[in-house]
Amino acid sequence: MLPEATPDLVVVGSGAAGLMAALSAAVAGAKVLVLERSPLIGGTSAISGGQIWSPLNALMERAGAADDRDEALDYLSRVTLGTVGEERLSRYLDASPALLECLEAWTELRFFQIERPDYHPDFIGARDGRAFEPLPYDTTRLGGWRSRIRTSPLRGPATSRELRAGLDPDLLAERRVRDVRTQGAGLVAGLVQACLDRGVAFESDIRITDLMLEGGAVRGCRTSEGSTIRSHSGVMLASGGFEWNDALKDAFLAPADRAPTSPPWNEGDGLLMGLRLGAGVAHMTEAWWTAAVQVPGEQWDGRPMTRNIVRELALPGSILVNDAGQRFVNEASSYHDLGKAFQHFDPGGYRHPNLTAWLVFDARFKRRYQIVNVAAAAPAPDWFQQADTLAELAANVGIAPGGLESTIRRFNAAARDGQDPDFRRGADRHGLTYGDPEHGPNPCLAPLTEPPFFAIPILHGNNGTKGGLTTDDQGRVVRFDGSVIAGLYACGNVAASPMGPGYPGTGGSLGPAMTEAVVAGRAAATAAGMKAHA
């Protein structure tokens, strides 16, 4: 039931960016209404790892490892390949320190520093510890709201640090009973509670398809059923990307499988609304790329579920090959950079040779590690292709004859000594974070020698699109000529990311999105005549 009073700001979308914008506006005194298309609040953020890349954050300073703004700028300039202007990057860096301060001041969430380097630790300006993650969040105060907030079916109530160190099964069971949430689910739960505490209203199962213009400014929106929702200040689009819209993907994204790992609701609604008003766009060919896998029969919200796959690619005893049986990437790269390798075009063969790919491993690897949703001790499921010889395995899955055998002979010869002359897997500190610390000499490398051999299909996936509406320093949507569309704001994946084609480190999507949401929410509240206050 929509509130009778006209809100100051309508936020369309309830992921972390939308929630942060709503909270920022509410703290500044605005009356805020959040509208969510799906039945559950939280969007893609709620099923994510909940990690936030935020340079110059206070946790680094408290740990005695203060960041440097100029070095952070150098790093981002390299990561974004020069496609994002220095002014935009500087704007983000100047706003970044406030994110953790706002989260700690406005919510009950508390965070720990993630002990890992940036994704490109050898680049000038790279640092350790620029990312943080929520500590476990007790949802008791949410009461009946808990059932309205999305959680991940793939993540248990443990932090990333606990998952690596191991966690007492009894404690995990207790957390499930108490509904203690971690990672993205914990982040969203804490943000929702903070919004509720400040009077933010929520409505789900409402699809917004059009914006209302009055006097040249956006002053509300319309639902897919024709209802009108007015607002004093305008509309904040935070409706996610367009990874579930086939027409938009065909128009903008590189030829690929493009399997989205997000819940199946992000169809570019906000993008299309902005385009109809003449909004500018940027980075439309970019997404948060990843290698991905589909387990037969798995679904969420009635659509096929796609999982991103990361650590299995980098643990010792596996390789990723294309249909020629050739490796084509450092499997311990960041998932975003690895995902881009699927897009390679071969001018000689005139095709994208890496779009058909397989994770290949041997019996030792299967016996030692969980692979996707299959425990190490569990029998191999039917969707694992297996054979007693590499030649037979290649024939079974359609890999070129001899290609797989040749590749693994070369790989094994170097892997025994912990070397990878072709792609330098496990040669930098970031890659080693994905490896097995109990395996040597290289935690990411081991020969594949023990039959049976296995292969599972790997897709070119994405965790959401990152191209979208262009915004100014207040989060207002702007046209290609730089003029402002009055009353229209955007944040999150519906807006063009300041990361351009790059991905700086773990949490490199959430961190910038939430930082810019704080700014946009405050600006929208100010536009409504509210006096901002912390």
The domain tally of the chain equals 2
pLDDT digits (tens, 9 = 90+) for 297-332: 999 999 999 999 999 999 999 999 999 999 999 999
Q: pLDDT, tens digit, for every residue of 163-175?
A: 988 888 999 999 9
The domain boundary, picked from 411, 443, 462, lies at: 462
Residues 491 and 436 in one domain: no
Domain check: are 232 and 115 in the same one? yes
Is the domain of 374 the same as that of 472?
no
Task: Kindly state whether residue 274 falls inside one of the protein's structural domains.
Answer: no
For residues 229 and 348, membership in a common domain is answered with no
Same domain, 473 and 451: no
Is there a domain that residue 258 lies in?
A: no
Lowest mean pLDDT of 55-64, 66-75, 82-91, 524-533, name the range.
524-533
Q: How does pLDDT run across 400-409, given as a tens digit for each residue?
A: 989 999 999 9
For 280, the 3-state DSSP assignment is: coil
Residue-wise DSSP of 333-395: S-HHHHHHGGG--BTTTTB-TTSSEEEEE-HHHHHHS-BTTB-TTSPPPTTSEEESSHHHHHH
Quick one: DSSP state of residue 10? Answer: E
Q: Are strands 201-203 and 32-35 parallel, antiparallel or unpaired?
A: parallel
Confidence band for 528, pLDDT divided at 50, 70 and 90 = confident
Please state the pTM of the whole predicted model: 0.96
Cβ proximity of 122 and 39 under 8 Å = no
Q: Alpha-carbon Rg of the chain, whole angstroms?
A: 23
Residue 286 located in a structural domain:
no
pLDDT digits (tens, 9 = 90+) for 424-435: 999 999 999 999
Burial category of 108 from C-beta neighbours within 10 Å (exposed 0-12, middle 13-18, buried 19 and up): middle
Write down which residue in 421, 441, 462 finishes a domain.
462
Q: How many Å separate Cα 230 from the centre of its chain?
A: 32
Rounded CA separation 487/368 (Å): 56
DSSP for residue 327: B
Q: What is the mean pLDDT of residues 113-128?
A: 96
Residue 532 reports pLDDT greater than 70: no
CATH number, domain of 114, equals 3.50.50.60
Region 188-211: what's the mean pLDDT?
Answer: 98
* 3-class secondary structure per residue, 483-522: CEEEEEEECHHHECCCCCCCCCCCCCCHHHHHHHHHHHHH
**pLDDT the model gives residue 1:** 61
- At 505, is the pLDDT very low, low, confident or very high (cuts 50, 70, 90)? very high
Say if CB 500 and CB 283 are below 8 A apart: yes
| Residue entry with tokens 């262009």 | 470
Tell me the CATH number at 362. Answer: 3.90.700.10
Name the residue range of residue 205's domain.
9-238+466-527
pLDDT in tens, 362-381: 999 999 999 999 999 999 99
Mean pLDDT, rounded, for 250-276: 92
What confidence tens digit (pLDDT) does each residue in 341-366 have? Answer: 999 999 999 999 999 999 999 999 99
Question: For residue 360, is it within any domain?
Answer: yes
The residue-averaged pLDDT of 104-121 equals 96
Same domain? For 447 and 500 the reply is no
> Looking at the predicted structure, is the pLDDT value of residue 531 above 60?
no
Rounded Cα distance, 478 and 472, in Å: 7
**Residues 346 and 429 reside in one and the same domain:** yes
Quote the CA–CA distance of 112 and 40 in Å, as a whole number: 27
Give a yes or no: residue 248 inside a domain.
Answer: no
53/188 same-domain check:
yes
Percentage above 90 pLDDT, the chain:
94
Could you tell me if 145 and 158 lie in one domain?
Answer: yes
Across-strand partners of 495?
Answer: 469
Tell me, yes or no, whether 450 and 506 share the same domain: no
- pLDDT at residue 522 is higher than 80: yes
SS3 (DSSP) at 210: strand
Q: Are residues 448 and 497 in the same domain?
A: no
415 close to 447: Cβ distance less than 8 angstroms: yes
